[in-house]
Amino acid sequence: MPYVWDFSAVTRNWTVLLSGLGGTIVLSLAGIAVGILIGAGLAAMRLSGLRVLRWPATAWIEFFRNTPPLVHFFWFFYGLPMAFGITLSSFGAALAALGIQSSAFFAEVFRGGIVSVERGQWEAGRALGMSRARLFRRIILPQAARRMAAPFVERCFELVKTTTLAAALAHHELLYAAMVVVTETYRPLEVYTVVALLFLTVLFAASQVSEWLEARGRAMQGR
């Protein structure tokens, strides 16, 4: 007989799912902030002419870009206490895993945006007597920011979806909240469908805001 959809399990536990959604948003924003801070430093090191800075940054980026994010979650939550006696909460471990893993991708986004600016822009600024800091702030950074906007936003969206791995640490985010509801209601199709729709709603709204900001930036640049 055909499956009978029943979303009453969702409506009865709506507050649990919304609480999980709040946890996902908080973890996402914190992870993005950590990733940006570390990623900016890594990008600067990668662009350095000193091998002592460039090589460690390259090793960090390649390692965390090419290893599974779930392994990072397990390392910080289970590995640190076993190896070093350092215990992190589920939130702390998830934040460390998300921030460090995303920093490798953010670093390459930042570096790619900067090196994409033509060399002549640097030379023209130097010819005008601008300091390196002022040249970077006034000429290079605005051009690089426009070019890195799309991959940066895409990376942020990927990080938001990666927060679901925190459920493996029993951290209260959207997927973990859904798992709790499923164990109580035995309606996995309905619950996980709503989870997908919630992610879709949040990320679609964020993408619209991103496009509006990008269009506004282009309009202001054209004035």
pLDDT tens-digit readout, 173-217: 999 999 999 999 999 999 999 999 999 999 999 999 988 877 776
In angstroms, the CA 49 to CA 38 distance is: 19
Inside any domain, residue 15: no
Together in a domain, 85 and 178: no
Asked if residues 98 and 106 have their Cβ atoms less than 8 Å apart, the reply is: no
Mean pLDDT of 11-23: 96
Q: Kindly give, in sequence order, each residue whose CB lies less than 8 Å from that of residue 214, ignoring residues fewer than 6 positions away.
A: 149
Together in a domain, 208 and 158: no
| 82 against 141, higher pLDDT | 82
In angstroms, the CA 84 to CA 159 distance is: 27
Mean pLDDT of 33-62: 95
Mean pLDDT of 46-52: 91
Together in a domain, 56 and 158: yes
pLDDT above 90: residue 81: yes
Asked if residues 76 and 98 have their Cβ atoms less than 8 Å apart, the reply is: no
- Please report where in the chains the tokens 């090793």 appear, as a residue: 59
Which band of pLDDT confidence, cut at 50, 70 and 90, is reported for residue 221?
low
Together in a domain, 182 and 165: no
Together in a domain, 58 and 91: yes
Asked if residues 163 and 31 have their Cβ atoms less than 8 Å apart, the reply is: yes
Inside any domain, residue 97: yes
Tokens standing for 169? 């640490």
Inside any domain, residue 14: no
> Where are any strands of DSSP class E within 85-185?
none
Which band of pLDDT confidence, cut at 50, 70 and 90, is reported for residue 144?
confident
Number of neighbouring beta carbons within 10 Å of residue 32: 20
Mean pLDDT of 30-37: 97
pTM: 0.90
In one letter, which amino acid is 45? M
Please tell me the predicted confidence (pLDDT) of residue 212.
85
Which CA distances in Å does 143 have to 78, 170, 185?
43, 42, 52
Please tell me the predicted confidence (pLDDT) of residue 130.
75
pLDDT over 70, % of the chain: 93
- Residue 54 exposed, middle or buried by CB count within 10 Å (0-12, 13-18, 19+): middle
Mean pLDDT of 100-108: 96
Domain extent for 94: 30-171
Please tell me the predicted confidence (pLDDT) of residue 142.
78
pLDDT in tens, 128-139: 777 777 777 777
Which band of pLDDT confidence, cut at 50, 70 and 90, is reported for residue 222?
low
Together in a domain, 135 and 39: yes
Of the candidates 66, 28, 14, 6, the one whose C-alpha atom is nearest the C-alpha of residue 181 is 14
Inside any domain, residue 197: yes
